[in-house]
Amino acid sequence: MIVMKFGGSSLASSEAIRRVASIVAERLPRRPVVVVSAMGKTTDRLLEAADLAAAGRRAEALRLVGELEEFHLREGHPCSGRTEELFAELTELIRGLAVIGELTPRTIDAVSSYGERLSSMIVAEKFRAAGIDAAQADSRELLVTDSRHTAAAPIFEETYGRIGARIPPLLAGHDAVVMGGFIARSRQGVTTTLGRGGSDFTASIVGAALDAEEIQIWTDVDGMLTSDPRLVEGVHRVKVISFDEAAELAYFGARVLHPATLIPAIEKNIPVRILNSYRPQAEGTRIVAERVPCRNIVKAISSKHGITIVNIRSTRMLGAHGFLRRIFEIFDRHRTSVDMVSTSEVSVSATIDDARALAAIKADLEEFSTVEIESDQAIVCVVGDNIRHTPGIAGRLFRALNGINIRMISQGASLLNMGFVVAGSDVKRALQALHTEFFSDLDPAVFDRLR
Ligand code: ASP
């Protein structure tokens, strides 16, 4: 069997869902389990409605929910099933939030779960209307997580057990099974979610549980590219990439995959393929467990924008121990994760993505050090397995960046990436320069020129 995951952009309209149905219909002999995201931008809208309600802006919140209902009824037509019923429930929930005026992670999950509950129901019905005998499974009965709402971690053994017990009999009696991504339940039976973009994770978990022959992630692009086409001219498609390389890319800004997605698939050695639902004939990108031999040193260059550098200086650091622990405890206390770190004898620089707690972090750090903040920075990361085997890469890289000021440098322990930070205003120039340096000559076994 195969797992086919369709993202929100592949399900943004009635026509898009019909396109998805025809893609699935052609693959019925491979026994597909179809994992769907919420339709279009539904999750964003649901979260907005919850925020508005909790802020006491009840009428605006209810209007937003009304618009979402209209969208689902229109694009789901005539297969909208229990849409009205689900929206009646959701409306109750939003009204309650407006009364209480408080939003907890648990309620956020309750609200955001409606996106995938609706989409899985509508997509299953649309499939049936298109002649596919599709069964719908409630993911909340299959995926068991801890109670860390909005970013819950699956309890794998139980989850695999449930999926293994429930899905094969459904597949035996039907052409395909449709289930929502992203949503799950805690052991206490409360609805949880796997974090934004979590449907890829669901697909990978289902694939691992069922030992799928392949996990297909259907999006609206032709797979992984050598760099972001909005920033770089002349990018190429990467035909095949290793799990390790893809994970580094996902972590440092490549949007195509949720970073944690790949772990269950890697553990079971299941190939993952990224495909374009708007161009199903395109070959996409294959992500495989083994190393991918390649003539090019670099497979792709990613970038992550809106980064803040926190420079921490203290003469007390000189020869002292426990200094880093003190620093990281502060980031931890403010629930802020650090992406990149570089240290010298008297200073530490750390980059953060989420600057919401910056003022509080700075105040705490200033109790024992001098802190300087640089906002609007970008991390650029070159990734490729050959980086670890090829001497002189750093030299080539920095020469290519000729004149662009580099703020921080780091090479991960995996040795297959090299990352550095530049000012946001320099990132485009840096990406283009590196792309020209590393991709002017292409290994045709690994790359394909984009048409
Ligand atoms: N609908 C969820 C989100 O937008 C999960 C997903 O699409 O992967 O984050």
Question: What does the pLDDT average to over 257-273?
Answer: 83
C-alpha 182 to ligand 1 mean position (Å): 6
Given ligand 1 and candidates 5, 10, 11, 43, which is best to mutate, with the most ligand atoms within 8 Å of its CB? 43
The per-residue pLDDT for 223 is 86
Question: What does the pLDDT average to over 267-274?
Answer: 92
Residue nearest to atom 6 of ligand 1 (CA): 197
What are the distances in angstroms from CA 116 to CA 88, 96, 110, 119?
16, 21, 11, 5
C-alpha 207 to ligand 1 mean position (Å): 18
What are the distances in angstroms from CA 166 to CA 39, 146, 173?
25, 21, 12
Question: What does the pLDDT average to over 377-397?
Answer: 90
User: Phi, psi at residue 247, to the nearest 5°?
Assistant: -65, -40
C-alpha 379 to ligand 1 mean position (Å): 24
Position 279 confidence tier, pLDDT thresholds 50, 70, 90: very high
Assess contact for 294 and 384: CB atoms under 8 A: yes
* Tens-digit pLDDT profile for residues 244-259: 888 888 766 556 676 5
C-alpha 183 to ligand 1 mean position (Å): 9
Q: With a 6 A CB cut-off, is 108 part of the ligand 1 pocket?
A: no
The per-residue pLDDT for 424 is 96
Q: Considering only 132-141, 321-330, 359-368, 429-438, which range has the smallest mean pLDDT?
A: 321-330
CA 215 to chain centre: 15
3-state helix, strand, coil split of the chain in percent (to 5) is: 45, 25, 35
Q: Which atom of ligand 1 is nearest to the CA of 41?
A: 4
Q: Which atom of ligand 1 is nearest to the CA of 258?
A: 8
Q: Considering only 47-61, 293-307, 350-364, 406-420, which range has the smallest mean pLDDT?
A: 406-420
User: Phi, psi at residue 86, to the nearest 5°?
Assistant: -65, -40
C-alpha 376 to ligand 1 mean position (Å): 26
Question: What does the pLDDT average to over 118-129?
Answer: 97
The per-residue pLDDT for 4 is 98
pLDDT at residue 81 greater than cutoff 90: no
DSSP code per residue over 314-339: -GGGTT-SSHHHHHHHHHHHTT--EE
pLDDT at residue 414 greater than cutoff 80: no
Question: What does the pLDDT average to over 364-368?
Answer: 94
* Tens-digit pLDDT profile for residues 295-344: 999 999 999 999 999 999 987 766 677 888 999 999 999 989 998 998 88
What are the distances in angstroms from CA 27 to CA 24, 176, 362?
5, 10, 54
Residue nearest to atom 5 of ligand 1 (CA): 197
* Tens-digit pLDDT profile for residues 199-224: 999 999 999 999 999 999 998 888 88
Q: What is the pTM of this model?
A: 0.84
Q: With a 6 A CB cut-off, is 197 part of the ligand 1 pocket?
A: yes
Question: What domains appear along the chain, each with residue ranges and CATH number?
Answer: 2-220 (3.40.1160.10), 300-449 (3.30.2130.10)
pLDDT at residue 89 greater than cutoff 90: yes
Question: What does the pLDDT average to over 57-85?
Answer: 94
The per-residue pLDDT for 259 is 59
More confident residue, 224 or 53: 53
C-alpha 196 to ligand 1 mean position (Å): 5
pLDDT at residue 352 greater than cutoff 90: yes
pLDDT at residue 120 greater than cutoff 70: yes
- Strand 176-180 versus strand 32-36 pairing type: parallel
Q: With a 6 A CB cut-off, is 18 part of the ligand 1 pocket?
A: no
The per-residue pLDDT for 413 is 66
Q: With a 6 A CB cut-off, is 180 part of the ligand 1 pocket?
A: no
Given ligand 1 and candidates 111, 117, 182, which is best to mutate, with the most ligand atoms within 8 Å of its CB? 182
Three-class SS state of 446:
coil
pLDDT at residue 271 greater than cutoff 80: yes
Spatial separation of the C-alpha atoms in residues 218 and 20, rounded to whole Å: 9
Q: With a 6 A CB cut-off, is 196 part of the ligand 1 pocket?
A: yes
Position 123 confidence tier, pLDDT thresholds 50, 70, 90: very high
* Tens-digit pLDDT profile for residues 172-191: 999 999 999 999 999 999 99
Across the chain, what does the average pLDDT equal?
92
C-alpha 437 to ligand 1 mean position (Å): 35
Q: Considering only 73-77, 156-160, 410-414, 421-425, which range has the smallest mean pLDDT?
A: 410-414
